[in-house]
């Protein structure tokens, strides 16, 4: 467990692990990680890097391949997730994770860490996107590629995990320095304002809930599910939906699904789903 004194250390005294994942789709459970990379920073410099492609079970479509340019052929000889996540977990060690739009990366990684029967990291994560919005509000926007140009950083290959992890680290360090070169970890957490503990992305927690466990099962089995939703245009009515994804998010966890009377995915916030049945 983390001791309170750990949060009082200056950020320059701790280990940071900037990470990034590329995936086969938007949503955890229904999509897979196809690349993981991380950059370890300690004592004022990068001390190690990790990168691997990851074999996926379901071939990726052209739309997602066009984003990261990782093809199904490139993944044929790649390690399986069980091997990749174990090595990533060891690489992480006791570092503080840093990611750009961290909830996305943590959502995918937490699932695989739990599947490997490993404990979720105890140290909370930092999000370079959230930090940059406060520290550099004058930037045109806070997408990673925009911030790379804003800070005149070395331009790597966009949407490849190692280059994005390096860029994420560089952006985060600029934000940390803006808060204060001697700022404590606790001060940075307060500045970020949005807590990002790994436990908030646990799927194991959802499996222990009578209703949410059904949603997880529907996604894993790719089966329609009947839900009662206390919101929207038909509050309290039973509706059959086709599951698309499930997102754990600081602003509210939500289930993405296509309603039987519609053809576009909708968000159903978990705290408003009162019943579910396969």
CATH number of 204-277: 2.30.30
**pLDDT band at residue 34 under the 50/70/90 scheme:** very high
- Confidence band of 4 (pLDDT split at 50, 70, 90): low
Residue 178 is inside which H or E element, if any?
A: helix 161-179
Higher pLDDT, 47 or 156: 47
Region 251-275: what's the mean pLDDT?
A: 94
Structure tokens, 67: 């984003």
CATH 2.30.30: which residues of the chain? Answer: 204-277
Q: Of all helices (H) and strands (E), which one includes residue 88?
A: helix 81-92
By C-alpha distance, which of 33, 23, 38, 28 is closest to 168? 38
pLDDT at 2 over 70: no
Q: Is the pLDDT of residue 226 over 90?
A: yes
Q: How confident is the model at residue 1 (pLDDT cuts 50, 70, 90)?
A: very low
User: What is the second-level CATH architecture of the domain 4-201?
Assistant: 2-Layer Sandwich (3.30)
* Section 39-44 average pLDDT: 97
Buried b (16+ CB within 10 A) or exposed e, 222-260: eeebebbbeeeeeeeeebebebbbbbbeeeebbbbbbbe
Strands 225-229 and 45-53: unpaired
Integer Rg of the chain from CA: 19
| CATH 3.30.420.10 in the chain, residue ranges | 4-201
pLDDT tens track for 59-115: 999 999 999 999 999 999 999 999 999 999 999 999 999 999 999 999 999 999 999
CA distance 206 to 41: 33
Residues 6+ apart with CB under 8 A from 195: 124, 189, 250
Rounded CA separation 132/97 (Å):
16
Helix, strand or coil for residue 108? helix
Dmax (CA) of the chain: 57
Q: Rounded CA gap, 2 and 10, in Å?
A: 15
How far is 81 from 36, CA to CA, in rounded Å?
Answer: 10
Lowest-confidence pick of 133-137, 213-217, 250-254, 260-264: 260-264
Distance of CA 272 to the CA centre of its chain: 23
Overall average pLDDT of the 176-198 stretch: 96
């Amino acid at each position: 467990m983390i001791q309170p004194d750990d949060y009082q250390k200056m950020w320059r005294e701790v280990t940071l692990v900037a990470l990034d994942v590329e995936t086969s789709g938007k949503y955890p459970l229904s999509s897979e990680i196809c690349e993981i990379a991380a950059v370890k920073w300690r004592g004022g410099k990068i001390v190690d890097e990790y990168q691997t492609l990851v074999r996926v079970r379901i071939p990726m479509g052209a739309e997602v391949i066009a984003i990261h340019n990782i093809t199904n052929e490139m993944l044929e000889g790649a390690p399986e997730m069980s091997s990749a996540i174990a090595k990533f977990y060891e690489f992480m060690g006791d570092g503080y994770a840093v990611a750009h739009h961290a909830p996305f990366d943590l959502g995918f990684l937490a699932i695989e860490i739990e599947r490997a029967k490993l404990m979720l990291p105890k140290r909370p994560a930092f999000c370079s996107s959230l930090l940059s919005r406060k520290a550099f509000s004058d930037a045109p926007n806070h997408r990673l590629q925009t911030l790379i140009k804003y800070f005149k950083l070395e331009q790597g290959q966009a949407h490849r995990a190692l280059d994005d992890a390096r860029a994420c680290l560089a952006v985060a360090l600029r934000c940390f320095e803006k808060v204060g070169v001697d700022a404590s970890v606790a001060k940075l957490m307060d500045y970020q304002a949005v807590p990002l503990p790994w436990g908030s992305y646990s799927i194991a927690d959802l499996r222990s809930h009578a209703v949410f466990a059904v949603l997880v099962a529907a996604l894993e089995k790719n089966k329609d599910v009947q839900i009662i939703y206390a919101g929207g245009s038909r509050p309290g009515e039973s509706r059959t939906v086709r599951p698309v994804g499930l997102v754990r998010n600081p602003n509210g966890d939500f289930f993405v699904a296509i309603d039987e009377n519609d053809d576009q995915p909708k968000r159903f916030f978990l705290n408003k789903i009162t019943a579910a049945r396969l």
